[in-house]
Structure 1
Amino acid sequence: MAWEIARPSHMPAVSGVDMAGFRIRGDAPEIVHAIPHPAITVVIEFGDRGFEVRDAAGRTHSASLIRGLAATAVPARVEALDCVQVRLSPLVAPAILGFPPAELGADIIALEDVWGREAARLREQLHDAPDWPHRFALVEALLARRSAATFPIDPEVAHAWSRIMVGRGRFRVEDLADELGWSRQRLWSRFGTQIGLTPKRAAKLVRFDHAVHRLVQGHAPARVAAETGYADQSHLTREVREFTGAPPTSAATEPWLTVDDRAWPSTLA
C-alpha cells in the first residue's frame, strides 16, 4: 500500500487544530487500524473511492466522518483513499462541532450529520482543488468560520487538559485538583462533562499515545515503560493491548502509526 502524505506549509490559524492530507493506493483492500489519539478526528474524503470503518457497535461508515476521543482501535478497510484529516483539541472542538466532545464520546458519526450541506460542499471543493495547498486553505477557512462560535470550556478544565498533555499523562488527580483549588469530585465531574473522559482516562490515553510512538521509533518496550510512567513492561503491554487490541511489537507496525512522523511530526516531539 502506497501512502502520499502532505502537510500544510504553516500552522493553521485556529489554535488547537492540526491537519494532514492523505492519498492511499493499494493493489487490493487492506485492513488497517485507526489507533486512539488524544484528539477528535475529522476525516473529509473527496476521492472517487473511499473506505469502510467499523465502529465499536459494529456499524460501518464509508464517507466523511468524525470520531470522538476513542476508547479502542477500530479496523478500516482501505484500498484507495483521498482525504484531509483534521485533529481537533477537545478545547476547540466544541466551537467547531457545535457541541462538547462528551456528547460524541467514542462514537463515529457522519460529518454531514454535524456540518450538513457545508460538508458536501467542502467535499466537492476539495475534489476540484488543483493541489494540497488549495485543499488545506479550503479546510482552514471553514474551520475558522466555525470556530468563531462561542462554546465555552471552563478555564480550569482547559488548564487541566493542558497540564495532562504537557505532562504526557503523568500526574495525580489529587495534585491537579489542589492546583486548581477544586475538589477531586468537582474536577472529575466538570472535566468529564466537557471533555468526555475522566481526568484519569484522559491521562491514560495521553500516556499511551506518547509510549506507542516511542515504540514506533524503535525503542525497546522495557525502556519505553520505564521512561513514560508505567510500573513495568507488563503494565505497558496491558495498556497497549487495551487501546490497540495488539501487543506492543504488533501495534508499533500499524500503518496509521508508522506514517505519523510524516503526517503529524508534532506527535513525536
Structure 2
Amino acid sequence: MESDVWDVARPGRAGPLSLGGFRHRTGGTVDLRVVPHPAITVVLEFGGGKLLVDDGAQHGSFVAGLAPRGVRLRGESLECVEVRLPPLAAAGVGAGPAELDRTVGLTELWGRDADRLRDQLSEAGSWDARFALVEAAFARRLSVVPATDPEVSLAWRRIVRSRGLVRVESLAAECGWSRRRLWDRFRAQVGLPPKRAAKLVRFDHAARRLATGASAADVAAECGYTDQSHLHRDVVAFAGVTPGRLAADAGFAADRSAFA
C-alpha cells in the first residue's frame, strides 16, 4: 500500500503482533508526527540516515508509551518497522509503564540485541522477512511478561470495547475493587489512570474517523464529544495540531493505512 510520500507494508499473514513497515519514498529529509494511540509503540529503524526524536537526542530505534504527547521524528532516508503492543505487555520491551512516560532508545533497554536486530532488518531482502525477524525477537521477550491483575485487564478491555465511552466511575464496582485501588493498580500497570486512558481511546477512534475524511462535526457527534469545540480541544491536547491538520498529515495517513 502506498501514499504520496510513504511506501507502506503490512504482513501478508495474520501474526501475533501488530506490525507495519514504512519507507520514505524520496529518501530525503523526514519530519514525521507520530500521533498517540492506545498501545506501546516500538519503532525499529534500519535506514541509511540518522533518526532524531523530538528532543533532539540520537535515539535511532525507540519505544514510546501511552503518556507522551505526539512524538516528532526527524531524519533522512527513513525505513522502519513499527510494532504496537497492548499496554499490559509493556514488560515485553524491558520497561514498566511508568518508565515509558518519555521516549526511550531501544539500545537503552535491549543493549546489543537492539543493534543486532537493526543489522538483521537492514540485511533482510523483503518486508515479510523483516516482519518474521521482529516477531521472533519479541516472541522471546513476551513469553516472560508477568501476569497482570485480572481486574485491570477487565477495566482496560471495557474501555477499549466502548471506544472510551464507558463511565469510568462504574469500573471499580464492576471489578469488585474500591475506586482508589483500581485507579492505583490501573495506573501502575497501564501507565495512565482510567479516565485519561478512556480519553486516549476515544481520541484514537476520532482520529481514525478524521483520517477517512469524515467531517469534524460528524466525528464529534459519533465519538461522544459534547460538541465540535470539545473534539478540537482533545485533538490539540493529544496530537498538538487541529483536527483539519491532523486529517491532512501524510505521515498520519500512512500510519493509519498500516494499522487499519
Matched, 1:117 2:112: yes
- Cα separation, 2, equivalents of 1:103 and 1:128: 31
The range that moved more, 45-54 or 35-44, is: 45-54
Query: Which residue of structure 2 aligns with residue 204 of structure 1?
Result: 199
Query: Which residue of structure 2 aligns with residue 23 of structure 1?
Result: 23
1:152-206 deviations in whole A, cap 9, x for unaligned?
A: 2111111111111111100112211111111111111000111110000000011
Query: Which residue of structure 2 aligns with residue 101 of structure 1?
Result: 97
Count of residue pairs brought into register by the alignment: 257
Opposite residue 251 of structure 1, the aligned amino acid is: L
**What do you get for the CA RMSD once the two structures are aligned?**
1.6
Query: Aligned-pair distance for 1:148?
Result: 1.3
Residues 180, 43 of structure 1: alpha-carbon distance in 2 compared, 3 angstrom cutoff: same
Query: Which residue of structure 2 aligns with residue 36 of structure 1?
Result: 36
Three-state SS of the structure 2 residue aligned to 1:205 is helix
- Cα separation, 1, equivalents of 2:29 and 2:145: 42
The range that moved more, 58-67 or 214-223, is: 58-67
- Cα separation, 2, equivalents of 1:259 and 1:38: 18
Query: Which residue of structure 2 aligns with residue 7 of structure 1?
Result: 10
- Cα separation, 2, equivalents of 1:93 and 1:11: 21
1:223-245 deviations in whole A, cap 9, x for unaligned?
A: 11111011111100111111122
- Cα separation, 1, equivalents of 2:78 and 2:145: 34
Three-state SS of the structure 1 residue aligned to 2:88 is coil
Opposite residue 65 of structure 1, the aligned amino acid is: F
Specify every segment of 5 or more residues in structure 1 that has no aligned partner in the other structure, as ranges. none
**TM-score between both structures, scaled by the size of structure 2:** 0.93
Equivalent pair of 2:216/2:228 in contact (CA under 8 Å): yes
Opposite residue 12 of structure 2, the aligned amino acid is: S
Query: Which residue of structure 2 aligns with residue 250 of structure 1?
Result: 245
Residues 28, 45 of structure 1: alpha-carbon distance in 2 compared, 3 angstrom cutoff: closer
- Cα separation, 1, equivalents of 2:94 and 2:53: 24
Q: How do 1:63-212 and structure 2 match up within 5 A? A: 63-94=60-91, 96-105=92-101, 107-212=102-207
Opposite residue 45 of structure 1, the aligned amino acid is: E
- Cα separation, 1, equivalents of 2:73 and 2:95: 26
- Cα separation, 1, equivalents of 2:6 and 2:134: 21
Residues 186, 237 of structure 1: alpha-carbon distance in 2 compared, 3 angstrom cutoff: same
Query: Which residue of structure 2 aligns with residue 218 of structure 1?
Result: 213
Opposite residue 136 of structure 2, the aligned amino acid is: A
Query: Aligned-pair distance for 1:78?
Result: 3.8
Equivalent pair of 2:30/2:78 in contact (CA under 8 Å): no
- Cα separation, 2, equivalents of 1:150 and 1:38: 19
Query: Aligned-pair distance for 1:212?
Result: 1.3
- Cα separation, 2, equivalents of 1:109 and 1:86: 15
- Cα separation, 2, equivalents of 1:144 and 1:12: 11
Three-state SS of the structure 1 residue aligned to 2:203 is helix
Specify every segment of 5 or more residues in structure 2 that has no aligned partner in the other structure, as ranges. none
